[in-house]
Each structure stands twice: as structure tokens, then as C-alpha cells.
Amino acid sequence: MTRGLLGLLVLLFSGILQAVETIRYCDYPVYPPVSWSDGKQPRGLAPTVVRELFGRLGYHVEMVVLGNWQRCLIDAAEGRVDVVLAYASEQRDQTMRFSQVPVLREEVAVFANRQRPLQFDKLEDLAQYRGGLLFGESYGAEFDRFVARHQNIEWVSDSGQNFGKLIRGRIDFVIQERRTGQLFVEHLQGARDIVALGPALSVDYLRVAVSRHSPLSERMQEIDEQLQKMTDSGELARWLHESEVTYRDMVRQP
């Protein structure tokens, strides 16, 4: 090989390596089947979608796991990470750009203990009870105003803490995505009396959220185009099903 050809190959490969940029995705993996930890790394629908989506756009994805969901949102708002998956809100829209094409439709439910039944038909019915939420969670502007007005929420960093309190009667309800909550309590010791109440508190859509400080914010149209292809091809539905199966298999293992 001539010195000139070798130099050309070096330039070619260095250019390829430089073209593969790294983006940072923040996850708080406590929401099976959307996201959970196998003890080593995040698993589930969300990390799968992020890796596939941004891999197809030419990026390498670095996973960042923080101690609670609020920290992920703060880091995205301030540009320390590029991407999270989250619900859109007026406050979050100030610091992040959200995909128009959703990743997942989520029904938000009120979980209660049948041993201590509560009356729930509408949001204001919960004002007389004590509830539990994870740090950083928001279920829409009306719900956020309700929480600020009544101050009847205990904030924790782990769903196990919330449902443990509900089992022991320390709180009266837990707000959680219906799919995640039902999957979580399936194998939770002492949770046989924990049920999701009939009426949905709200319906929302999990979306790709990009920090406005990130160069990715200029590629939202391409992000939406890729998400639409994933939706139309059935990939998002397949990954969700696979995530549910994988999570159940994992928690059944001794």
C-alpha cells in the first residue's frame, strides 16, 4: 500500500468517525414496560425507541440514568442531556421541543386499596385524600393546579415506595399510568388489594422531547418522519409487546 493511499484511507475513516455524533438520553427506569432497569442498564420501549430513532438519524446514543425523574427534566431543560421521553406541558415546552408524532398513548389512573375504598369520579374528589407521586411527574395543567392548590401529595423517587405506602395505608391513592401500575403490582408482595379505579384521570401521549439547547432541536421534522414510519410499520407496537413480555419474564425469575 502506497503512503498516499494509506493517508487517504486514514482521512476517510476519521471522517466517518467524526460523522457519528453522540447524543445524551436521560432515563429514570422505573416505568415498566416503558422503561425499567435490569440491574445494569435501562430496558423497555423508551430506550429501544431512542436507540433506533437516533441511530437511523446517524447518532450514537449515550444512556444517562439519574436518581429521579425531576433531575432528568432539569438536565434536559438546561442542556446537559439532549433527549428525554415525556408528556408535553406548557412549562416543559419552554425548555424542550416535543415530537408531533407520539411514541405511546397513556391512560393515567388512580390506584387505591380495596381495604380502604375511596370515592372517585372526578379530580376534585381526591382533594379529601392523601396521594403519592414521583418527583417531577406532571399529568397536565389542571392536575398540576389541583396539586398546588390542595397540597395533599407525598413525593417520592421510587414507585415501590408509593405502592408500599398504599398497601400499608399511609396514603390513600397513587397516580400512575394504568399499564405501568398494573404491571408493577402484578408481582408486588401484599398488593392483591391494589386496584386501578375505573374512570381514567386523564389520557396523554408520551413524546420524544429534545432540549432547546441541543442541535437536535433543529431536526424535529426528521424525528417526526422517522417516528411516523415506526408507527406505520408496527415497530412501536411490537416493541411495546416485547417489553411487556420481557419484563414479566424478568420478574418471574427466582
pLDDT in tens, 108-127: 999 999 999 999 999 999 99
Which is nearest to 136 in space by CA: 158, 120, 121, 118?
158
- Cα gap 164→185, rounded to integer Å: 10
Q: Which three cell numbers stand for residue 89?
A: 406541558
Give yes or no for residue 16 having a pLDDT over 50. no
What number is the average pLDDT over the span 75-101?
A: 96
Q: How would you class 79 by CB atoms within 10 Å of its CB: exposed for 0-12, middle for 13-18, buried for 19 or more?
A: middle
Going by the DSSP 8-state scheme, the letter that residue 121 receives in this structure is S
Q: Do domains 19-104+205-252 and 106-203 have the same CATH topology?
A: yes
- Cα gap 133→254, rounded to integer Å: 29
What number is the average pLDDT over the span 139-149?
A: 90
- Full-model pTM: 0.84
Check if the beta carbon of residue 103 is closer than 8 Å to that of residue 46: yes
pLDDT by residue (tens digit) across 51-80? Answer: 999 999 999 999 999 988 999 999 999 999
- In the CATH hierarchy, which fold is given to the domain comprising 106-203? D-Maltodextrin-Binding Protein; domain 2 (3.40.190)
Which is nearest to 72 in space by CA: 16, 23, 13, 135?
135
Give yes or no for residue 12 having a pLDDT over 60. no
End-to-end CA distance of the chain: 57
Q: What length does the chain have?
A: 254
- 19-104+205-252 in CATH: which number? 3.40.190.10
In the chain, the amino acid numbered 8 is L
Give domain limits for the chain. 19-104+205-252, 106-203
